[in-house]
Amino acid sequence: MRRLPLYIGIFVFVISLVTAVATISTRQAIIKTDINAGQISPTPTLVPTIPRQ
């Protein structure tokens, strides 16, 4: 049972990583669909939040 904290740490790290990736991908998808639908126009405040790939 000594390795239990190690497993918990890895588990929390993986969950946070997946959450961050999901948040970024959904944010990019929402911005793309909004721009394509013409609901919002790309503003300088939105550009820095989109990670360059």
**Chain segment 36-48, per-residue pLDDT in tens:** 655 555 554 545 5
Q: Strand, coil or helix: what is 18? A: helix
**Structure confidence at residue 16 (pLDDT):** 92
36 Cβ neighbours under 8 A, 6+ residues apart = none
Length of the chain, in residues: 53
Q: Is the pLDDT of residue 21 over 70?
A: yes
Cα 8 to its chain centre, rounded Å, is: 22
**Structure confidence at residue 10 (pLDDT):** 93
